Amino acid sequence: MLEERQENYAESYLYRVRHSAAHVMAQAVLEIFPDGKFAIGPPIEDGFYYDFDLPRPLTPEDLEVIEKRMREIIAGDFEFEKKVLEAKEAKQIFADQPYKLELIEGLEEGGFDEYGEPLAEKPEISIYTHDQFVDLCRGPHVDNTGSINPDAIKLMNVAGAYWRGDENRPMLQRIYGTAWESADDLEQYLWKLEEAKKRDHRNLGKELDLFSVNEDVGPGLILWHPKGGMVRKLAEDYCMEVHEKGGYDFVYSPHIGKAHLWETSGHLDWYQENMYSPLDIEGQEYYLKPMNCPFHVQIYKSKIRSYRDLPLRFAEWGTVYRYERSGVLHGLLRVRGFTQDDAHLFCRPDQMPDEIDRVLDFSLSILRAFGFRDFQAYLATRNPEKAAGSPEQWEAPTEALRNALDRAGIAYQVDEGEATFYGPKIDLKVRDALSREWQLTTIQFDFTLPERFDLAFVGEDGQEHRPYMIHRALLGSMERFMGVLIEHFAGAFPVWLAPTQAVLIPIADRHFEYAGEVAEKLRDSGLRVEVDTRGERMNAKIRDAQNQKIPYMLVVGDREVEDEAVSVRLRSEENLGAMPLESFIDRAKADIRERL
RNA sequence: GCCGACGUAGCUCAAUCGGCAGAGCAACCGCUUUGUAAGUGGUAGGUUAUGGGUUCAAUUCCCAUCGUCGGCUCCA
């Protein structure tokens, strides 16, 4: 599905518009900085960029000047002319452009296009010219610069980017721009960005008092406040309940473990750069756990396992700590300490396909319960360059993963050779309300740990056999998942997850007593209720409850006291009017049951 | 980590050329007793992120550190 979309995009008119806009921008930039060097400038989702090596950092004012000049070039209606030439000729044209020369050399050798992407066959070398500007480019472009709509382009921002994405190469300045066919499209896109900003979980986290990060605690470490803590608890309660029903056993493990454990598991070999420095305890080195697997493996190993015991499913909401470079931290989505809804499945080879089916279905049903409908899966297969075990060992699990995906009937793509060395995996992404993709679930085979820890079960034949081990996290991490939930619902959690489900709004002081009684009754029937006893007017209380995205606002005044009723207003602004308390309770319970 | 921008009251933001640090909201104390998105008056709130430097004088200029944001790279 996604792949198709991308293929279509590359052939679309809009793609050519954006590609052309990138060239126009490069011309404008190089007119301002005649000695500037330019690198690559492809269309991307929603726009384009171009990388430059310039004598000074660009400012927002520069962008305005560049954008203005772009409109002049567009108005000039210059033709885009393509010319195919020999590498030698191309090198002469770009003699003082080192990045272009490097690209030409790459093209000459074949194997890579001008964006550094691998190619099947050796490409031709071509240039595109418009006005006075020449760029190495395979196209395609629009016919004339005039085909770009000057009212539908906008330069967005400047950011650093390494040449060829390699941190050992020079840091270039990347200008991001967006381009559309019509001014309306541009406006709509900018609106969507605004909308995304309003939903930003970092802002909502503050406004709804869900969580914070504190400078003194440390970057990438989350403090859950009571409201956010409640949402998280509710999410965890639900998941734990279905895990128990789904045949999982709950285990708990410590936050630290001896160096020897991590040596055995191999983490100190291949994961150490993501691990924090060891603690010294009585002369022994202990590491904060970056993963839960070794502990679960040790629980497996705590006694002799029979084939009759399998499958074993050990689940733990396990908090792990991973070193992330300071620049990549991002709200709840990328943190240094987080809690995985982790589990490890140990099974016999004959049970493996069924286990895979089960866990994939399980994941989908949980994600659906949280309101996600649109899924995209990625099957990562063996990378011959770095893979534990033999190709034959990989076959059955890879097939099982593929079959499970076919049976589940969800869109998936195969990422050939993208697996980690220790086994094939499925990653599951969900699409949110703004149709952005978020990776949540991961289901990974592990060929290495059963070997390293010498895991075994006694078979029917009385002999020792090696179990399969599958690592899986469904929501991924609670922190990241909460961030995704906040953005998906724009903070308006479904009733079953809302930290406060109803707020009672007494109109005057004399209604406080009745409001308190109603609140007690609602709490008795399991609802999470607050009473707003501030000396504010009803209008102000409604406004605040609305901003807090509380599902039900229950106004009580003289009439309601008289009738033993509540007047129900929904956060959708719908006013349901007065109803008997029992009717409201029924309504709320139905909404909760339906997960609305 | 790297490139760039930024850091002022709990929050959102002002402060002209270097010249007494301010507003709205929130909080607190009053008045108001309210019928579906902000009633009203007052009070309090600051080592301008931290440390150093330049200057008669620094929120403002310089340096370092910490942190935040947009990207690169990586990823649950």
ipTM: 0.93
For the CA of A201 and the C1' of B69, the distance in angstroms is 14
Q: CA A193 → C1' B14, Å? A: 27
Residues 6+ apart with CB under 8 A from A537: none
Residue A137 DSSP SS3: coil
Q: Is the dihedral of CA A277, A279, A283, A286 positive or negative?
A: negative
Has A344 been annotated as catalytic? yes
CB A220 within 8 A of CB A239: no
Please state, in angstroms and rounded to a whole number, the distance separating the CA atoms of residues A251 and A344. 10
User: Is A340 designated active site?
Assistant: yes
Alpha carbon A335 to its chain centroid, in Å, reads: 12
Q: According to the model, what pLDDT value does residue A61 have? A: 83
Residue A546 belongs to what H/E stretch?
A: helix A538-547
For residue A55, say whether its CB is under 7 Å from any atom of strand B: no
A537 touches strand B (CB under 7 A): yes
Backbone angles phi, psi at A303, to 5 degrees: -155, 175
pLDDT at A254: 97
A557 CA to B74 C1' distance (Å): 57
Q: Give the whole-angstrom CA distance, residue A143 versus residue A138.
A: 14
CA dihedral A109, A112, A113, A119 (to 10 degrees): 110
Give the largest CA-CA distance in chain A.
Answer: 93
Walk across the sheet containing A575-580 and list its strands.
Answer: A529-531, A502-506, A552-556, A565-570, A575-580
Which A residues 209-228 have CB within 7 Å of strand B?
A: 213, 215, 218-220
Contacts (Cβ under 8 Å, ≥6 apart) of A407? A357
**pTM score, whole prediction:** 0.92
- Residue A575: per-residue pLDDT: 96
Nearest nucleotide to A206, CA against C1' atoms? B11
Query: CA A502 – C1' B11 distance (Å)?
Result: 25
Nearest CA-CA partner of A134 in A46, A45, A270, A27 = A27
Torsion angle of the four alpha carbons A155, A16, A415, A434, in this order, in degrees rounded to the nearest 10: 50
Whole-number pLDDT of residue A292 = 97
Q: Which pLDDT belongs to residue A112?
A: 62
Q: How far is CA A530 from CA A432, A493, A559, in A?
A: 30, 17, 21
Render each residue's pLDDT in chain A as its tens digit; 596 residues. 334 445 588 888 999 999 999 999 999 999 999 989 999 999 998 999 999 999 888 888 888 899 999 999 999 999 999 988 888 888 889 989 999 999 888 887 766 665 656 666 667 888 999 988 999 988 889 999 999 999 999 999 889 999 988 888 889 999 999 999 999 999 999 888 888 888 999 999 999 999 999 988 999 999 999 999 999 999 999 999 999 999 999 999 999 999 999 999 999 999 999 999 999 999 999 999 999 999 999 999 999 999 999 999 999 999 999 999 988 999 999 999 999 999 999 999 999 999 999 999 999 999 999 999 999 999 999 998 888 888 999 999 999 999 999 999 999 999 998 899 999 999 999 998 888 889 999 999 999 999 999 999 999 999 999 999 999 999 999 999 999 999 999 999 999 999 999 999 999 999 999 999 999 999 999 999 999 999 899 999 999 999 999 999 999 999 999 999 999 999 999 999 999 999 999 999 999 999 88
Length in residues, chain A? 596
Q: Which of residues 464-523 of A touch strand B (CB under 7 A)?
A: 473, 476-477, 479-480, 507-510
CB-based contacts of A184: which residues, under 8 Å, 6+ apart?
Answer: none
Residue A300 CB lies within 7 Å of the nucleic strand B: no
Which nucleotide has the least CA–C1' distance to A164?
B72
Q: Which residues of A spanning 146-165 put their CB closer than 7 angstroms to strand B?
A: 157-162, 165
C-alpha distances (whole Å) from A302 to each of A264, A297, A453 are 16, 9, 12
Q: And the tokens for A1? A: 């599905």
Per DSSP, the three-state class of A407 is helix
